[in-house]
Amino acid sequence: MPAPLAYFGISSSGVNLFINLLLLFVAIVWLALIYWTRVDARRRIDDPLLVLCATAAALVPFIGTLVYMIVRPPEYLEDVHERDLEVQAAEARIAQLSYLACPYCHQEVEKDFLLCPSCHTRLRDPCVHCQRPLDLTWSICPYCEAVVSDAVATSRRRDSLAREAPPH
């Protein structure tokens, strides 16, 4: 029977068992770090070649993973994509608030115009009480709480339907 492997010249079986278990634990941690580096790199890096390089660097025990943790991108790809969508949505909201167009000729108009200066289409009616511009679909003035009379509301709806109908 061959003699058991003695580390550092120590032939005690208890110490050798401890060293073997310690080496097994270190190997398991190293393999777990390789796996973690690969998974984390796939969540943070879009280029498959760079993911492969990060995983290859993790093959250098412990130091490779440490270097990857220092140079890795700070955000997940999902967070970057979500932030880009939020920025686009905010830009669209700002553009929508600052730009209004005539529904008939699509020329730029301001929100308090009563008529389109280009095609003379009625955009809004003034409130009979406060003279603020009212949208053609409103039945009450949001500024002074005055009810828009039925005759004015009916004529506005008729005008808006006539504008939406295609010309013959």
Does residue 160 share a domain with residue 105?
yes
pTM metric for this prediction = 0.53
- Indicate whether 106 and 159 sit together in one domain: yes
- How do strand 100-101 and strand 124-126 relate by DSSP bridges? unpaired
Whether 84 is covered by a domain: the verdict is no
Angle subtended at Cα 146 by Cα 140 and Cα 148, rounded to the nearest 5 degrees: 50
> Could you tell me if residue 4 is inside a domain?
no
Local confidence pLDDT in tens for the 168 residues of the chain: 555 566 667 777 888 889 899 999 999 999 999 999 999 999 999 999 999 999 999 999 999 999 999 999 999 999 999 999 999 999 888 877 666 788 888 888 887 888 888 898 888 888 888 888 888 788 888 888 888 876 455 555 555 555 555 454
Count of domains forming the chain: 2
What residue numbers bound the domain in which 18 lies? 13-75
Q: In the numeric block, which tokens belong to residue 8?
A: 């550092």
Q: Do 104 and 160 belong to one domain?
A: yes
Asked if the structure places residue 93 within a domain, the reply is no
